[in-house]
Amino acid sequence: MSMPDSVKTFLSHASYEKVKTGNVVSTSDENDVIEAIINKQDCILFGPPGTSKTYMIDRIHEYLGDKTGLVKIVQFHANYTYEEFIEGIVPDTDKGGFKIEPGVFYKFCEDAKKLKEESPDKICVFVIDEINRANVTAVFGEILNLMEDKGVRKMETPKLHKEFWIPDNVVIVGTMNTADKTLAKLDFAFRRRFRFLPVFPSKIILHKMISANGFDTEAKLTVDEYVTCFEVLNTKIARHPLLGKNLTLGHVLWTKKNDNTPYTKKDIGRIFRETIFAQIESYCGSNKDALGNLLGIEIRDKILYGYEISDEEIISYLNGLKNSKVVNA
């Protein structure tokens, strides 16, 4: 069978970009989040763990300043339901029996309507952390239709029998961890109602975070060398046929928490044993070849057979990583 002319034309104009180290895909920052919220665009921040998604969400008040209205954060999970989100039947602890109770998003929208009357310029942000852990189509139900024309489209709720709509001062912001293998898939009807903002590992952010501390002489690493290791390992993961960009390692995972002292050899050892190696092992599962490709045979076998990996071995691994040719591949 010959190739259709339309396909030939498409292929002749298609361009293919090599995977590069560092930011292997385009990534969003707080400015993109602010723009989406101010423009009243429902959006989802998606990316691997440790890429500052939650950090951005926690600073919404700071980003919006005087425009901040209400901010509510909820976390979805596998058993989250429409009844919790919009309305449902719950036990009546005062009178006994059961009663119909408005859900968290229903209440938020009612509060946002009241605020709009008092302060029409305020923006109310409803944040859903780990949005794709739940069956979102079932949780949102008919609310999906109201998202397309906020303040105009209305419905009668099936149990409370009250008129409900999403006011136009409400913006929904979700976060999505692309490395979570238990996630429910998002269908097209749900996807097309959100702006998706990629938040992927950033060598620029890592460099800034590490530079605030630096390394002591015992670590035998510079900030630039450590960032190179970050680039090389993430490039290996992004290029691996069984892994890919959604399983790269976020910049936050490469740092220590709440400590302004210089990074020591012990700090680096702890970060890699407790976080980096553990995350890679969870990605690779029982695939010994993939684990060996990323970590080397010696470290792979120590992980698989439960042997301790010393700080010196981790520094040696990083020295090999920073000299890898994968950066220029």
Span 99-114, pLDDT tens digits: 889 999 999 999 999 9
DSSP H/E element including 237: helix 223-239
Q: Which of 159, 182, 198 delimits the end of a domain? A: 198
Do 319 and 306 fall into the same domain?
yes
- Domain-located, residue 295: yes
**Looking at residue 14, what is its pLDDT?**
36
Domain boundary among 198, 228, 260: 198
Residues 190 and 240 placed together within one structural domain of the fold: no
Among 150, 173, 198, the domain boundary falls at: 198
Domain count, the chain: 2
In a domain, 230, yes or no: yes
pLDDT tens digits, residue range 127-176?
A: 999 998 999 999 999 999 999 999 999 999 988 899 999 999 999 999 99
3-state secondary structure of 229: helix
φ/ψ bin of 130: left (φ > 0), alpha (ψ from -120 to 50), beta (otherwise): left
* Same domain, yes or no: 208 and 192: no
Residues 142 and 291 in one domain: no
Is 145 part of a structural domain of the chain?
A: yes
214, 307: one domain: yes
> Is there a domain that residue 122 lies in?
yes
Instruction: Tell whether 242 is covered by a domain.
Output: yes
- Residue 286 and residue 310 in one domain: yes
Tokens 């009357």, residue located: 117
Q: Do both 220 and 194 map to the same domain?
A: no
Q: Identify the CATH number of the domain in which residue 187 sits.
A: 3.40.50.300
In a domain, 24, yes or no: no
Q: 15 lies in a domain?
A: no
Give me the pLDDT at residue 324, please: 79
Could you say which DSSP state residue 327 is in? G
In a domain, 211, yes or no: yes
Pair 272, 302 in one domain = yes
What stretches in the chain show pLDDT beneath 50? 1, 3, 6-25, 327-329
156, 213: one domain: no
* 48 and 189 assigned to the same domain: yes
d(CA 209, CA 225): 14
Give me the domain span that covers residue 286.
203-328
Indicate whether 115 and 43 sit together in one domain. yes
CB count, 10 Å around CB of 160? 15
